[in-house]
């Protein structure tokens, strides 16, 4: 009995095991046939493109299990999200979604592209009432460029200036490009240069010349006169043609110019007249001085006119210049300083010295003289430290209407002798045989003054006439050595 019970229990157990095994096998076969897995449902696109700077909103995603036999389950699985989207930085961002089930872990991905598709902005500045001109061309008024992503792009702007417009272009880091144009007026027309006054002007040497200038107007009506470059000058002390050129150089390297010619004419000079009969011109340098009054007395006693080439050496005797003038003698300029190094340092220095002496003559006589004698004579060599100055002064003084006199008879009182008799003999021997003589003496030498009366007596006894020099007298130039 017990054995039968044991056999029955064993049989039931075996049947139970068999049934369970079959059931398990069926379940396994069912699961295998169902092929259940995790299924993700992603809202929106798997790749999304958004503009940088805009907000990113997650479209959503959920996961369930899904099989061939039983379909989707209604229970959603917990999802983990990994990854962030930085909408402030251009780039591609990957977001991973994952879920766990009894069938294992599954995941899916979404890609978010943050892009910059907005082109940069270029803003042009405009200066009120500004207009380009031919001289300067167009001067940039200013511009700015900025981008919503890259920020300030002003220094990245490419600028191309054409004849009628300026083209500005800029690209941002994403390749977006902007181009704007600034139209320009036509400023390429050459300015017109209008010389004020005559294009050819004549003046006489010594006359003051003030240039009236030139007016420059460009094609847009801009006055460019203030920008004119002026070259050339007029030396009104020396005859010749002088050219004054007005010019402008444009921004494109082209130039325009106009020229005025100023012709400085020599002052008209009276013709030289040879004196009739034998003539002696007594001339006295370096005074007035202590002996000039006595000399004037002698000349007055004989009614003989003479010529005085005066200096400023003895201020106490300036009044004798006026007396000599009133008594019919000719007054000429010699020098104010008699300092060769100072006088012949330049033309300007010579004229300053000359003008100083002229002023003294004018103060004493009421007149300016046009007669003078170069210190040392025109043939002097003491001026050679300034090469060519005597040649230049000869021309300038003559152009200005002045007449200078050297001498053809020397008394020898300038250092050769201080003997009155010898001085007398030098004079009469020099005058003998000449139709006219210009005698050099110095009225600051008493031994020379002492010979004058004898010369006058000898001259009259021998048929000579005594005259003072004037602008028509022969000049006895020595010849220039510098």
What is the tens place of the pLDDT at every residue in 287-311? 999 999 999 999 999 999 999 999 9
* 3-class SS string, 390-455: HHHHHHHHHHCCCEECCCCEECCCCCCCCCHHHHHHHHHHHHCCCCEEEEEEECCCHHHHCCHHHH
Give the pairing type, strands 61-67 and 71-72.
antiparallel
CATH class of 121-183: mainly beta
Q: Looking at per-residue confidence, does 91 or 35 come out higher?
A: 91
What pTM was estimated for this model as a whole? 0.64
Q: What is the pLDDT of residues 223-238, one digit of tens each?
A: 999 999 999 999 998 9
User: At the top level of CATH, which class does the domain 192-265 belong to?
Assistant: mainly beta
Tell me which residue has tokens 């700015």: 144
State residue 277's pLDDT score: 92
Rounded to a whole number of angstroms, the distance between the first and last alpha carbons of the chain is 174
Contacts of the segment 432-437: beta carbons below 8 A, 24+ positions apart: 432/462, 434/278, 434/408, 434/409, 435/274, 435/275, 435/278, 435/279, 436/274, 436/275, 436/278, 436/279, 436/280, 436/281, 436/474, 437/279, 437/280, 437/281, 437/408, 437/409
Here the tokens at position 176 are 């977006």
User: How far is the C-alpha of 340 from the C-alpha of 192, rounded, in Å?
Assistant: 51
Fold exhibited by the domain 279-466:
TIM Barrel (3.20.20)
pLDDT at 46 over 60: yes
Q: What is the rounded average pLDDT of the residues 278-284? A: 98
SS3 call for 355 = helix
Q: CA nearest 99: which of 72, 63, 46, 61? A: 63
Helix (H) or strand (E) holding 109: strand 104-115
Round to whole Å and give the CA distance between 18 and 436: 176
* Residue 25 banded pLDDT, cuts 50, 70, 90: low
The pLDDT tens digits of the residues spanning 49-75 come to 999 989 998 898 988 888 777 777 888
Give CA–CA dist 66/70, Å, rounded.
7
DSSP element (H, E) containing 19: helix 2-34
Kindly report the average pLDDT of the chain as a whole number. Answer: 92
How far apart CA 37 and CA 106 sit, in angstroms, is 8
Task: Average the pLDDT over 107-125 and give the result.
Answer: 93
| % of the chain with per-residue pLDDT over 70 | 96
> b/e string for 279-294 if b means 16 or more Cβ within 10 A?
bbbbbbbbbbbebbbe
Nearest-angstrom CA–CA distance, 209 and 476:
33
Q: Rounded to whole angstroms, what are the CA distances from 444 to 282, 320, 438?
A: 15, 13, 18
**Are 464 and 280 a contacting pair, CB within 8 Å?**
yes
**The two structure tokens encoding residue 372:** 């003078």
Contacts with 471 (C-beta within 8 Å, 6 or more apart), sequence order:
269, 270, 370, 371, 403
What is the length of the chain?
482
Report how far residue 416's alpha carbon sits from residue 410's, in angstroms, rounded to the nearest whole number: 10
pLDDT in the model for residue 195: 96
The DSSP line for 279-343 is EEEEEEES-S-TTHHHHHHHHHHHT---EEEEESS-GGGTHHHHHHHHTT-EEEEEESS--HHHH
CATH class of the domain comprising 34-115:
mainly beta
Q: 312-369: per-residue pLDDT in tens?
A: 999 999 999 999 999 999 999 999 999 999 999 999 999 999 999 999 999 999 999 9
On the question of a common fold for 121-183 and 192-265, the answer reads: yes
SS3 260: strand
Between the CA of residue 362 and those of 167, 400, 470, what are the distances in Å? 73, 18, 17
In whole angstroms, give the CA distance from residue 98 to residue 85.
17
The whole-number average pLDDT for the span 383-390 is 96
Domain spans in the chain, listed from the N-terminal domain onward: 34-115, 121-183, 192-265, 279-466
270/186: higher pLDDT = 270
């Amino acid at each position: 009995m017990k054995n039968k019970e044991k056999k029955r229990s064993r049989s039931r157990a075996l049947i139970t095991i068999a049934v369970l095994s079959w059931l398990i096998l069926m379940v396994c076969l069912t699961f295998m046939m169902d092929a259940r897995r995790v299924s993700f449902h992603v809202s929106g696109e798997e790749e999304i493109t958004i503009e940088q700077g805009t907000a990113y909103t997650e479209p959503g995603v959920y996961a369930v299990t899904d099989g061939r036999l039983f379909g989707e389950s209604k229970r959603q699985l917990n999802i983990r999200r990994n990854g962030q989207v930085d909408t402030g930085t251009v780039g591609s961002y990957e977001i991973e979604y994952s879920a766990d089930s009894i069938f294992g872990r599954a995941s899916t991905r979404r890609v978010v592209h943050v892009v910059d598709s907005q082109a940069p902005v270029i803003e042009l500045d405009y200066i009120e009432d500004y207009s380009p001109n031919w001289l300067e061309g167009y001067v940039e008024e200013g511009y700015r460029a900025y981008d919503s992503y890259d920020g300030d792009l002003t220094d990245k702007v490419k600028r191309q200036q054409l004849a009628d417009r300026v083209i500005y272009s800029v690209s941002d880091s994403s390749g977006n490009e902007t181009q704007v144009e600034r139209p320009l007026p036509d400023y390429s027309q050459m300015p017109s240069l209008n010389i004020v006054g005559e294009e050819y002007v004549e003046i006489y040497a010594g006359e003051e010349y003030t240039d009236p200038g030139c007016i420059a107007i460009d094609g847009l009506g801009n006055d460019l006169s203030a920008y004119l470059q002026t070259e050339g000058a007029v030396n009104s002390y020396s005859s010749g043609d002088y050219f004054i050129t007005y010019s402008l150089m444009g921004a494109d390297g082209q130039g325009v110019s106009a020229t005025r010619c100023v012709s400085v004419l020599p002052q008209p000079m009276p013709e030289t007249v040879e004196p009739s009969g034998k003539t002696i011109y007594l001339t006295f340098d370096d005074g007035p001085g202590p002996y000039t009054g006595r000399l004037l007395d002698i000349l007055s006693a004989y009614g003989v006119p003479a010529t005085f080439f005066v200096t400023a050496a003895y201020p106490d005797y300036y009044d004798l210049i006026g007396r000599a003038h009133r008594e019919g003698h000719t007054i000429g300029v010699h020098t104010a300083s008699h300092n060769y190094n100072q006088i012949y340092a330049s033309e300007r220095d010579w004229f300053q010295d000359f003008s100083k002496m002229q002023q003294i003559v004018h103060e004493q006589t009421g007149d300016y003289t046009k007669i003078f004698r170069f210190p040392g004579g025109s043939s002097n060599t003491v001026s050679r430290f300034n090469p060519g100055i005597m040649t230049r002064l000869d021309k300038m003084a003559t152009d200005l209407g002045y007449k200078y006199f050297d001498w053809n008879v020397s008394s020898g009182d300038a250092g050769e002798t201080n003997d009155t008799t010898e001085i007398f003999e030098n004079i009469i021997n020099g005058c003998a045989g000449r139709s006219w003589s210009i005698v050099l003496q110095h009225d600051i030498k008493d031994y020379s003054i002492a010979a004058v009366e004898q010369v006058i007596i000898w001259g009259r006894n021998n048929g000579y006439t005594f005259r003072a020099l004037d602008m028509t007298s022969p000049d006895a130039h020595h010849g220039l050595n510098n």
